[in-house]
Amino acid sequence: MVDTELIKFKGVTKKFKRNLVLDSNSFNIPENKITGLIGSSGSGKTTILKLIIGTYKPTKGEIVYLRRNIRKSIKYVERYFGFATEDGSFYDKLTVKENIYYFGRLQNMKKRDIKKNAAKLINLVGLDKAKNTLAENLSIGMKKRLDITCALIHKPKVLIMDEPTSGLDPVLRKEIIRLIKTINKKGTTIMMTTQLLGEADELLDKVLVLYDRKIVEDGSPSEINKKYNKQSINDVFEEIVKQHKEKKKKKKIYLKNPKNEELDFINKKEKKDLDKILDDYEKNQKRGRK
> Residue 45: which of 80, 85, 6 has the closest Cα?
85
Q: Give yes or no for residue 73 having a pLDDT over 50.
A: yes
Q: Give 248's contacts (C-beta < 8 A, 6+ positions apart).
A: none
Confidence of residue 1 (pLDDT cuts 50, 70, 90): very low
Say which residue, 141 or 87, is predicted with more confidence.
Answer: 141
How many C-beta atoms surround the C-beta of residue 288 within 10 A?
Answer: 7
Residue 13, sorted as left (phi over 0), alpha (psi -120 to 50) or beta, turns out to be: beta
5-219 has which fold? Rossmann fold (3.40.50)
Q: pLDDT digit string (tens) for 106-135?
A: 999 999 999 999 999 999 999 999 999 999
Distance CA 92, CA 239 (A): 42
Q: What is the pLDDT of residue 232?
A: 94
% pLDDT > 70, the chain: 85
Q: Which of 158-167, 192-201, 250-259 has the lowest mean pLDDT?
A: 250-259
State the burial class of residue 160 (Cβ atoms within 10 Å of its Cβ: 0-12, 13-18, 19+).
Answer: buried
Q: What is the pLDDT of residue 262?
A: 46
Q: Give yes or no for residue 273 having a pLDDT over 80.
A: no
Q: What is the pLDDT of residue 51?
A: 95
> Residue 159: which of 125, 189, 185, 180 has the closest Cα?
189
Paired with 5 in beta bridges are: 30
Q: pLDDT digit string (tens) for 14-70?
A: 999 999 999 999 999 999 999 999 998 888 999 999 999 999 999 999 999 988 999
Q: What is the pLDDT of residue 269?
A: 55
Paired with 134 in beta bridges are: 95
Say which residue, 43 or 210, is predicted with more confidence.
Answer: 210
Distance CA 260, CA 96 (A): 67
List the chain domain ranges.
5-219, 245-289
Q: Pairing mode, if any, of strands 60-65 and 5-16?
A: antiparallel
Contact 121, 155 (CB under 8 A): no
